[in-house]
């Protein structure tokens, strides 16, 4: 059976121009003014912005192992609702994705869900333990074609292990995504080290614990001429080191999360562990530096670090609670609020930071194609003039740990198309098969 055709009328493209877009046969079939197509379903998107489907380089899907918090299917639903057409599943599952078997399992589950591309990330070291390298080559050669490797949650702390990993991935143009956290400086740390942690009596997490690893690793990657990506940068000092490295031509890319673009460590005063996250929320000065770095390209992309946790592991005392927050369904609204509505970026830059650049870094060749004619129809639509109130009981994720519950946010996502098929239609999730 042929797939349906969709004619999106009068949408705003990332460059600010207005155009019709025709989606058929899984592709962007045409892009022009006043397209007429008698067989197409017409969707009027006047006033809305069309973007290439969003690509997340940092998602925790929890399957296998913690299916009570999230599954590949529920995470895919959450992603489709947030405008994503590709997610990168972090390796810290149980069992760990450190071999071909697990990454192939996650990849197949993504295909079965069918709502977006799920690209597994492979662990750098066996069991995320930081010593022996994982089966990097086998994962790269598997059907999942893994290109991004990360021990996220743990830092690859041993410089010799990090060097070997960086050398190994060169043969297939892979990238190591580092969770930059000096472990000895953060034993028992609960929140950002600063004035607020001192008042609250919670063990601090100094900025230097992040900056020291970023500094070491940009020097290391320059030495071995490989490729490094820094996960969730949170400090003004980290930004400065990356800016220095890029000015020297060092091959490093970096991400920032939506929550680190908006929230600060002042929120810990509530003692509400919904705000407990790794790396921690920092200061207003850091937030401003991160926004500036994202706008000028020092930080290449936004990645969600979507980290679902069961209610029991978040609704407890701060010191007992798990680190992490949901991110997929609020990411673009937070970026609109902090970067577009503040005048720091335009929609073309948003398309780059949330789709084109992450697809390029990870090598997802059919993602991040900027609505060009002939490209796979991975498209999302946001109405930036509308707003919505976040309700944790209405999320598509299996978990409820959003720090934005009750926030009124700008930008309502109305549609997501994955390979030409709607996964979100007029704000309603479409299950696989329904729309074909
Ligand atoms: Zn991390």
Spacing, Cα 405 to ligand 1 middle (Å) = 22
Spacing, Cα 238 to ligand 1 middle (Å) = 15
pLDDT for residue 435: 45
Residues 220, 228: Cα–Cα separation, whole Å: 9
49-52 and 117-120 strand pairing? unpaired
Spacing, Cα 205 to ligand 1 middle (Å) = 14
Spacing, Cα 40 to ligand 1 middle (Å) = 44
Q: What is the pLDDT along the chain (436 residues), one digit of tens a residue?
A: 567 999 999 999 999 999 999 999 999 999 999 999 999 999 999 999 999 999 999 999 999 999 999 999 999 999 999 999 999 999 999 999 999 999 999 999 999 999 999 999 999 999 999 999 999 999 999 999 999 999 999 999 999 999 999 999 999 999 999 999 999 999 999 999 999 999 999 999 999 999 999 999 999 999 999 999 999 999 999 999 999 999 999 999 999 999 999 999 999 999 999 999 999 999 999 999 999 999 999 999 999 999 999 999 999 999 999 999 999 999 999 999 999 999 999 999 999 999 999 999 999 999 999 899 999 999 999 999 999 999 999 999 999 999 999 999 999 999 999 999 999 999 999 976 554 4
pLDDT for residue 431: 79
User: Does pTM surpass 0.95?
Assistant: yes
Domain 6-49+375-429 listed as CATH 1.10.645.10: no
377 Ramachandran zone, left/alpha/beta (phi>0; psi -120 to 50): beta
Spacing, Cα 143 to ligand 1 middle (Å) = 26
The alpha carbon dihedral of 366, 398, 429, 346 has a sign of negative
Residues 136, 219: Cα–Cα separation, whole Å: 23
Spacing, Cα 152 to ligand 1 middle (Å) = 5
Residues with catalytic roles: 305
SS (H, E, C) the chain: CCCCCEEEEEEECCCCCEEEEEEECCEEEEEECCCCCCCCEEEECCCCEEEECEEEEEECCCCCCCCCCCCHHHHHHHHHHCCEEEEEECCCCCCCCCCHHHHHHHHHHHHHHCCCEEEECECCEHHHCCCCECCHHHHHHCCCCCCEECCCCCCCCCHHHHHHHHHHHHHHCCEEEECCCCHHHHCCCCEECCHHHHHHCCCEECHHHHHHHHHHHHHHHHHHCCCEEECCCCCHHHHHHHHHHHHCCCCEEEEECHHHHHCCHHHHHHCCHHHCCCCCCCCHHHHHHHHHHHHHCCCCEECCCECCCCHHHHCCCHHHCCCCECCCCCHHHHHHHHHHCCCCCCHHHHHHHHHHHHHHHHCCCCCCCCCCCCCECCEEEEEEEEEEECCHHHCCCCCCCCCCCCCEEEEEEEEEEECCEEEEECCEECCCCCCC
Name residue, tokens 């949650």. 153
Superfamily of chain region 52-362: Metal-dependent hydrolases (3.20.20.140)
**Nearest-CA neighbor of 70 among 357, 372, 399, 302?**
399
Spacing, Cα 138 to ligand 1 middle (Å) = 24
For the chain, give every domain's residue range.
6-49+375-429, 52-362
Spacing, Cα 231 to ligand 1 middle (Å) = 6
Q: Token pair for residue 186?
A: 């953060």
Q: Are 40 and 22 in contact (CB under 8 A)?
A: yes
Is cis: bond before 95, omega within 30 of 0? Answer: yes
Q: What is the CA angle 233-239-240, rounded to 5? A: 155
Spacing, Cα 11 to ligand 1 middle (Å) = 36
Give the other-Cβ count within 10 Å of 25's Cβ: 11
Q: Token pair for residue 204?
A: 């601090």
Q: Are 90 and 150 in contact (CB under 8 A)?
A: yes
Residues 201, 275: Cα–Cα separation, whole Å: 16
Give 304's contacts (C-beta < 8 A, 6+ positions apart). 56, 58, 59, 82, 257, 258, 327, 328, 331
How far is the CA of 434 from the CAs of 4, 24, 71, 423, 431, in angstroms? 11, 16, 21, 9, 6
Q: Are 77 and 115 in contact (CB under 8 A)?
A: yes
Spacing, Cα 329 to ligand 1 middle (Å) = 19
CA 363 to centroid of chain Cα atoms: 15
pLDDT for residue 62: 97
**Nearest-CA neighbor of 396 among 116, 120, 96?**
116
User: Which tens digit of pLDDT belongs to each residue from 365-415?
Assistant: 999 998 999 999 999 999 999 999 999 999 999 999 999 999 999 999 999
């Amino acid at each position: 059976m042929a797939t349906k055709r969709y004619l999106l009328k009068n949408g705003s493209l990332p460059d600010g121009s207005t155009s019709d877009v025709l989606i058929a046969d899984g592709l962007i079939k045409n892009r022009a003014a006043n397209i007429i197509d008698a067989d197409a379903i017409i969707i009027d998107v006047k006033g809305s912005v069309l973007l290439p489907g969003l690509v997340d380089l940092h998602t925790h899907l929890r399957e296998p192992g913690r299916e009570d918090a999230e599954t590949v299917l529920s995470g895919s639903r959450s992603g489709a609702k947030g405008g994503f057409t590709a997610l990168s599943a972090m390796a810290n599952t149980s069992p760990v994705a450190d071999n071909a078997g697990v990454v192939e399992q996650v990849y197949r589950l993504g295909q079965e869900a069918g709502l977006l591309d799920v690209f597994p990330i492979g662990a750098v070291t066996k069991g995320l333990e930081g010593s022996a390298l994982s089966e990097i080559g086998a994962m790269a050669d598997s059907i999942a074609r893994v290109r991004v490797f990360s021990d996220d949650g743990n830092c690859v702390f041993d410089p010799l292990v990090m060097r070997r990993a960086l050398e190994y991935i060169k043969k297939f143009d892979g990238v190591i995504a580092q969770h930059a956290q000096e472990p000895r400086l953060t034993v028992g740390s609960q929140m950002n080290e600063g004035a607020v942690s001192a008042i609250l009596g919670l063990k601090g997490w100094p900025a230097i614990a992040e900056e020291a690893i970023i500094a070491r690793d940009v020097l290391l990657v320059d030495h071995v001429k490989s490729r490094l990506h820094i996960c969730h940068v949170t400090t003004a000092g980290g930004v400065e080191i990356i800016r220095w490295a890029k000015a020297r031509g060092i091959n490093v890319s970096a991400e920032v999360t939506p929550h680190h673009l908006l929230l600060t460590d002042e929120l810990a005063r509530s003692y509400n562990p919904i705000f407990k996250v790794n790396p921690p929320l920092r200061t207003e000065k850091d937030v401003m530096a991160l926004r500036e770095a994202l706008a000028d390209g020092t930080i290449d992309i936004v990645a969600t670090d979507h980290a679902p946790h069961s209610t029991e592991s978040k609704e407890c005392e701060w010191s007992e609670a798990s680190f992490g927050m949901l991110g997929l369904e609020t990411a673009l609204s937070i970026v609109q609020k902090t970067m577009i509505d503040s005048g720091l970026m335009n929609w073309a830059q948003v398309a780059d930071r949330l789709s084109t650049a992450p697809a390029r870094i990870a090598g997802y060749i059919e993602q991040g194609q900027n609505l060009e004619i002939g490209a796979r129809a991975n498209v999302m639509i946001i109405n930036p003039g509308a707003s919505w109130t976040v309700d944790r009981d209405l999320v598509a994720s299996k978990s409820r740990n959003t720090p934005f519950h009750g926030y009124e946010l700008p930008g309502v996502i109305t549609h997501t198309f994955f390979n030409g098929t709607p996964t979100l239609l007029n704000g309603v999730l479409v299950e696989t098969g329904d729309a074909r």
